[in-house]
Amino acid sequence: MNYNEYDAIVVGTGFAGATIAERLANESNKKVLIIDKRNTIAGNMYDYIDKNGILIHKYGPHLFHTNLDNVYEYINKFGDWFPYEHRVLGKVDGKLVPIPFNLKSIELCFDEKKCANLKKILLKEYGMEKKVPILELRKSNNKDINDLAEFIYENVFLYYTMKQWGQKPEEVDPAVSGRVPVYISQDDRYFQDKYQVMPVGGYTKIFEKMLDNKNIDLKLSTNCLDLVSMKNGKIFIDGCEFNGKFIYTGAIDELFNYKFGELPYRSLNFEFETKNMEYYQPVGTVNYPTKEDKFTRITEYKHMTSVCCKSKKTTIMKEYPCQYELNKKMTPYYPINNEQSAALYNEYLNEASKYSNLYLLGRLAQYKYYNMDLIINEALKLFEKIK
């Protein structure tokens, strides 16, 4: 096979890889080869209909939400999307309360008098519709707010974060717990973005449409590292120097054979169960920020993907986080952003800069905790740069 027939080789069929491949093929009429080591397309967005007739996200629940008009416009080219606003409840003090913890959660956790007092103080201190990260709320000098912050910290953040990251909230990048702030509002949606939608028929169909182009060849079940070697600023594929654009969306440490050391990641185990009932829980996701449960959350897909499904059964999925270990066939899902990993990542970045036709794109290659919309935006930006 002559890989130099291609103008670009893209590694990974998630939103990063599929978006850049689609743009190069469709907009610039470039010949693209897209490779994935999995036997499916769509990266972590891959979905399928299971034995209960329910559309399942194999790699965890994926809710599409964005404030970016250009990204929303882009995804709408590849299929229809229906409005869906995600709601999450958390098991707090034996009750199910809205997460992000908000004014409704306060009403459910405290008696009427205390609740009225807390609301009054929060509104005075921060104002209505304000989002306050838990680590900031804990710094308040007001005794009542401080007590409330300790309650929320202990019952919503501490054990969930310990399970998810193996560390306390204050030891993790503040942006992580800041994703789910305390919300001084009656709004109990998980996200407040302008656009909140899910793909009719699922994500995989959207990706099929993105990659359906005569200029794109797809090669699945292929680990690019079995073909690629990186030497002295040159990229060799199957022994021949590749002169086109090489766009890589996998883990950067893996690309360079861990020469500076392994970057840290968190991984997840997903456990699926069938329940013989129409619905198992009141909303799509219930979080378990509890010490005793080993999983972080249970997702019931019927709520978010199969709203018209008449099945008398339902499928639920529990998420068990764990430390990522190389050679254990684990998937690196979450980069662990801290000073040490940033320094190590920079060493790889410096190495990557020696390869003029190498482009790093995506959650793993850019080593950032990006949502889908930001990944698509990164890919659109890269296209503008290289088209």
Which residues sit at the interface with ligand FAD, rule CB under 6 A? 11-17, 35-38, 43-44, 60-63, 223-225, 249-250, 268, 333, 362-363, 370-373, 375
Binds 244, which of ligand FAD, ligand UDP, none (CB < 5 to 8 A, cut-off by type)? none
State the sign of the Cα–Cα–Cα–Cα dihedral 136, 139, 140, 146. positive
Residue span binding ligand UDP (CB under 6 A) among the ranges 32-40, 105-113, 117-125, 154-162 = 154-162
**Binding residue for ligand UDP (CB under 6 A) from 52, 140, 164, 377?**
164
Report yes or no: 300 and 357 within 8 Å, Cβ to Cβ. no
Strand-strand pairing, 234-237 and 240-241:
antiparallel
Q: If binding is defined by CB under 6 A, does position 10 make contact with ligand UDP?
A: no
Single-letter amino acid code for the residue at 75: I
Q: If binding is defined by CB under 6 A, does position 317 make contact with ligand UDP?
A: no
Residues 279-308 that bind ligand UDP (CB under 6 A): 287, 289
Query: Tokens at residue 211, please?
Result: 């990659």
Distance CA 131, CA 151 (A): 17
Nearer to ligand FAD, 44 or 274 (CB): 44
Nearer to ligand FAD, 113 or 329 (CB): 329
- CA–chain centroid gap for 383, Å, is 22
Residue-wise over 136-150: b if at least 16 C-beta within 10 A, else e?
bbbebeeeebeebbe
**Binding residue for ligand UDP (CB under 6 A) from 19, 66, 177, 290?**
177
Report yes or no: 299 and 172 within 8 Å, Cβ to Cβ. no
Q: If binding is defined by CB under 6 A, does position 176 make contact with ligand UDP?
A: yes
**Binding residue for ligand UDP (CB under 6 A) from 35, 42, 99, 228?**
99
Report yes or no: 129 and 123 within 8 Å, Cβ to Cβ. no
Residues with Cβ within 8 Å of 46's Cβ and at least 6 positions away in sequence, in order, are 38, 40, 57, 58, 59, 203, 204
Binds 249, which of ligand UDP, ligand FAD, none (CB < 5 to 8 A, cut-off by type)? ligand FAD
Nearer to ligand FAD, 224 or 344 (CB): 224
Distance CA 349, CA 196 (A): 34
Nearer to ligand UDP, 370 or 383 (CB): 370
**Binding residue for ligand UDP (CB under 6 A) from 180, 237, 283, 360?**
180
DSSP per-residue letters across 41-67: SSGGG-EEE-TTS-EEETTS---EEES
Residue span binding ligand UDP (CB under 6 A) among the ranges 25-33, 153-161, 202-210, 358-366 = 153-161
The size of the interface with ligand UDP (CB under 6 A), counted in residues, is 13
**Binding residue for ligand UDP (CB under 6 A) from 161, 305, 306, 314?**
161
Query: Tokens at residue 171, please?
Result: 């030891």
DSSP per-residue letters across 243-265: -SEEEE-S-HHHHTTTTT-PPPE
**Residue 178 Cβ, how far from ligand UDP at the closest point, in Å?**
8
User: Looking up tokens 């104002």, which residue turns up?
Assistant: 127
Q: How many Cα atoms within 13 Å fall on the side-chain side of residue 143?
A: 0
Binds 375, which of ligand UDP, ligand FAD, none (CB < 5 to 8 A, cut-off by type)? ligand FAD
**Residue 303 Cβ, how far from ligand UDP at the closest point, in Å?**
16
Binds 289, which of ligand FAD, ligand UDP, none (CB < 5 to 8 A, cut-off by type)? ligand UDP
**Residue 309 Cβ, how far from ligand UDP at the closest point, in Å?**
23
For ligand UDP, the nearest residue by Cβ is 160
Residue 153 phi, psi (nearest 5): -55, -50
- Interface residue list for ligand UDP (CB under 6 A): 90, 99, 156-157, 160-161, 164, 176-177, 179-180, 287, 289
